[in-house]
Amino acid sequence: MKHFFAGLAALLAVQSAAAQTLDRMQWFNEPEQWAVGDDGSLTMSVTPHSDYWRISHYGFTVDDAPFVYATYGGEFEAKVKVSGDYRTRFDQAGLMLRIDHENYIKAGVEYVDGKYNLSVVVTHRTSDWSVIALDEPVTCVWIKAVRRLDAVEIFYSFDDVNYVMMRNAWLQDNTPVMVGMMAACPDGEGFTARFEDFEVRHLPDARRTEWLRANAE
């Protein structure tokens, strides 16, 4: 019985911590419907005809998709488990790191021409797009972003154990960053995206750590 109550207390503590994390976050382009589950997961009905993109290739700029975030300084590791009922070309969900409307990185799953892709868009005034096509649909994927100095490394995993890097991108250092969960539906009428186990972990400043190492007594 003691083990049961100890386990229950631990579960409630985890759920409470997850809920508090989401309670502290803010919406940018809040969708009409969203909910936080008992397990701390976030489910959103993605706004139709919404996206993040600037200028290049298509010639237009859009900045109107749902994004829930908290602001972090310094260096950190952010991670989330992502799933969705993707239906229409360019349906997408994942992590976003954003300084402002001209500087952001979004990474996750994107549905293109009937295929699931691991997708990263890096925007510094204009956007670029890189994809890794998957051979078959996936029920979920973990996306991780590690910010070190002026670089962000983006990783993916199918089991939250083995991570593979899919992008290394520049992002201005010593600048606060909005970090959170994003989904977009550029061509369709919306879909449901689900995010689980979102967390951001602070990393010691690399330059200061190196200075301390060099100046250790």
Is the predicted pLDDT of residue 192 greater than 90, yes or no?
yes
Question: N- to C-terminal Cα distance for the chain?
Answer: 52
Asked whether residue 165 is domain-assigned, the answer is yes
Asked whether residue 217 is domain-assigned, the answer is no
- What is the CATH number for 69? 2.60.120.200
pLDDT in tens, 149-162: 999 999 999 999 99
Asked whether residue 101 is domain-assigned, the answer is yes
Instruction: State the pLDDT confidence band at 23, using cuts at 50, 70 and 90.
Output: confident
Asked whether residue 212 is domain-assigned, the answer is no
Asked whether residue 209 is domain-assigned, the answer is no
What is the model's pLDDT at position 22?
A: 77
Is the predicted pLDDT of residue 205 greater than 80, yes or no?
yes
What is the model's pLDDT at position 1?
A: 42
Phi-psi region of 59 (alpha: psi -120 to 50; beta: other; left: phi over 0): left
Looking up tokens 């001209």, which residue turns up? Answer: 102
What is the model's pLDDT at position 21?
A: 67
Is the predicted pLDDT of residue 16 greater than 50, yes or no?
no
Calpha distance 205→203 (Å, rounded): 6
Task: Work out the mean pLDDT of the chain and round it to a whole number.
Answer: 91
**Dihedral sign of CA atoms 92, 17, 35, 25 in order:** negative
pTM: 0.89
Is the predicted pLDDT of residue 97 greater than 90, yes or no?
yes
Asked whether residue 214 is domain-assigned, the answer is no
Is-contact 144 163, C-beta < 8 A?
A: yes
φ/ψ of residue 172, rounded to 5: -50, 130
Instruction: State the pLDDT confidence band at 14, using cuts at 50, 70 and 90.
Output: very low
Is the predicted pLDDT of residue 2 greater than 50, yes or no?
no
Calpha distance 153→98 (Å, rounded): 14
- Residue 30 lies in domain: 2-204
Domain count, the chain: 1
Asked whether residue 180 is domain-assigned, the answer is yes
